[in-house]
């Protein structure tokens, strides 16, 4: 029975994975205790205070349920109210769209999705460009949309009980009286109504606001990342802090299907009992290209797999490491059929022996390319070595004379009465035949290119 229940849970997870729904958590409801500075809802003897120019009366509104209203009493009927006091409504301006702690994954109905073996890197905890956003019905809210991007794209937005999934319907809502009070900031939300068009997956699109996301996350967790147990923590793309475990970067072909591949990993590997404490994040990311340490403007799309586990101490990350090895073995055997052309694995665990980061490329295609290049270089090096030793004659191969000069330096010429060689003028003085004297009246003239006789004339 447990096995059946587990399989049903996995199938439910996979069925909901195709569409991603994220729900906004904070609200500005009167009955929410956290919205008040005293941590409680005002009682009958309290005086309610709203900050000047923030809510009432200039630019705010009360949204009341049917039959609801405000009434003033002397408080005698509320004995738990004590003596009463001033209760201030909290400042909702601080709630940022790019704060990962203010969003949660839900089903289309709005029901909270249980935490399982699949998680998201920090940038993907905020709504991505093809996600559906839900603001709970019968709640009021205010969200700051400040962004490094001028436009924040979404597939759909559900607000005030309405599902807005077309650009026209969303534009109409923005013209209403409530939208300016609910959304403020320099970023403009734009509904497209379309999902990811690429079966190999689509990047989240929140990379430009990555620093903003990490700042909000660290502000909520104490302004610093937790100290990892492993010696050399990994830094996945789109994640704010280093992790212990393993990462895999996969190169893919047009035949690759991201959703099917994630389902394969969950069903065939991650569901095994030995990996019960392992969590996995799978997504398409864009990695910046570098050359000699210089980051270029172009980027390479790849599939990133992040694996972490719940082990502690020296065992931290070891289960994730084993799962990563199994994934790479699967890539080596079935990568071509899955649309995977190559893969690279990096590992960081709590063990001192395996704590150093390592890279492995198990793809047959990638390994064949590397071995081919190495063999070619060794072959050319062998030919050059034999030629230099004189054991191989290649008439068509001409080695630069500079090498010969370095190996066989010319011995200095013996002193003679010819004087010195002028590098500026390559003329030898006339020589007489043996036994024949040089005429005394013979004059030899040399033209000096550095001397101009006209310059001496006055």
Q: How many CB atoms lie within 10 A of CB 314?
A: 16
Q: d(Cα 34, Cα 36) in Å, to the nearest integer? A: 5
For range 32-48, the mean pLDDT: 88
User: Residue 56 pLDDT > 90, yes or no?
Assistant: no
Residues 291-323: tens digit of each pLDDT: 665 666 678 999 999 999 999 999 999 999 999
Predicted TM-score of the model (pTM): 0.71
pLDDT of residue 8: 43
Q: d(Cα 155, Cα 205) in Å, to the nearest integer? A: 13
pLDDT band at 115 (very low <50, low <70, confident <90, very high): confident
DSSP-based three-state secondary structure for 110: coil
DSSP string over 52-88: TTTSSSSS------TT-------STT-GGGTT--EEE
Of 144-148, 217-221, 299-303, 410-414, give the lowest mean pLDDT range: 410-414
User: Residue 324 pLDDT > 50, yes or no?
Assistant: yes
pLDDT band at 384 (very low <50, low <70, confident <90, very high): confident
Q: d(Cα 451, Cα 447) in Å, to the nearest integer? A: 8
User: Residue 403 pLDDT > 50, yes or no?
Assistant: no
Work out the mean pLDDT of the chain and round it to a whole number: 80
pLDDT band at 72 (very low <50, low <70, confident <90, very high): low
% of the chain with per-residue pLDDT over 70: 68
User: Residue 451 pLDDT > 90, yes or no?
Assistant: no
Report CA 396 to chain centroid distance, whole Å.
51
pLDDT of residue 357: 41
Of 88-97, 355-364, 385-394, give the lowest mean pLDDT range: 355-364
Cβ contact 122:214 at 8 Å: yes
User: Residue 371 pLDDT > 80, yes or no?
Assistant: no
Report CA 347 to chain centroid distance, whole Å.
17
Residues, the chain: 458
DSSP state of 385: H
The residues, ordered by sequence, that sit 6+ positions from 196 with a Cβ below 8 Å of its Cβ are 130, 202
pLDDT of residue 20: 94
**Higher-pLDDT residue of 441, 109:** 109
Q: How many CB atoms lie within 10 A of CB 143?
A: 20
Give the chain's end-to-end CA distance (angstroms, integer).
Answer: 119
Q: Is the peptide bond before 57 cis (omega within 30 degrees of 0)?
A: yes
Q: How many CB atoms lie within 10 A of CB 16?
A: 15
Of 319-323, 338-342, 354-358, give the lowest mean pLDDT range: 354-358
């Amino acid at each position: 029975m447990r096995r059946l229940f587990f399989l049903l849970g996995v199938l439910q997870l996979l069925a909901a994975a195709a569409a991603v729904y994220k729900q906004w958590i904070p609200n500005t409801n009167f009955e929410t205790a956290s919205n008040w500075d005293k941590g409680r809802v005002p009682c009958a003897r309290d005086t309610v205070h709203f900050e000047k120019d923030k809510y009432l009366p200039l630019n705010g509104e009360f949204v009341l349920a049917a039959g609801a209203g405000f009434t003033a009493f002397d408080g005698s009927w509320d004995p738990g109210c004590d003596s009463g006091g001033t209760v201030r409504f909290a400042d909702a301006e601080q709630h940022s769209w790019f704060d990962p702690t203010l969003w949660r994954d839900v089903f289309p109905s709005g029901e909270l999705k249980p935490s399982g073996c699949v998680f998201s890197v920090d940038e993907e905890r905020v709504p991505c460009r093809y996600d559906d956003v839900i603001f709970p019905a019968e709640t009021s809210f205010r969200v700051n949309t400040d962004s490094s991007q001028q436009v924040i794209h979404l597939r759909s937005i559900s607000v005030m009980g309405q599902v807005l999934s077309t650009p026209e319907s969303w534009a109409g809502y923005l013209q209403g009286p409530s939208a300016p009070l609910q959304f403020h900031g320099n970023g403009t939300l734009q509904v497209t109504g379309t999902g990811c068009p690429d079966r190999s997956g689509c990047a989240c699109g929140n990379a430009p606001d990555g620093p903003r996301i990490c700042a909000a996350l660290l502000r909520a967790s104490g302004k610093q990342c937790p100290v990892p147990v492993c010696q050399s923590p990994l830094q996945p793309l789109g994640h704010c802090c280093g992790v212990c475990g393993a990462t895999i970067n996969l190169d893919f072909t047009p035949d690759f299907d991201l959703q099917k591949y994630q389902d394969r990993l969950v069903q065939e590997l991650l569901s095994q009992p030995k990996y019960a404490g392992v969590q996995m994040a799978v997504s398409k990311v864009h990695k910046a290209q570098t050359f000699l340490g210089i980051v270029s403007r172009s980027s390479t799309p790849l599939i990133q797999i992040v694996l972490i586990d719940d082990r502690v101490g020296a065992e931290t990350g070891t289960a994730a490491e084993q799962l990563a090895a199994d994934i790479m073995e699967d890539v080596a055997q079935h990568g071509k059929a899955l649309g995977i052309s190559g893969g690279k694995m990096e590992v960081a665990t709590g063990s001192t022996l395996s704590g150093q980061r390592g890279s492995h490329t198990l793809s047959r295609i990638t390994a064949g390319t590397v071995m081919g290049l190495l063999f070619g270089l060794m072959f050319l090096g062998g030919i050059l070595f034999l030629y230099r030793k004189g054991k191989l004659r290649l008439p068509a191969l001409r080695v630069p004379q500079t090498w010969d000069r370095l190996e066989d330096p010319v011995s200095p010429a013996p002193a003679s009465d010819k004087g010195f060689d002028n590098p500026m003028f390559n003329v030898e003085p006339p020589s007489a035949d043996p036994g024949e004297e040089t005429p005394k009246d013979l004059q030899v003239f040399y033209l000096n290119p550095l001397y101009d006789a006209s310059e001496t004339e006055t």
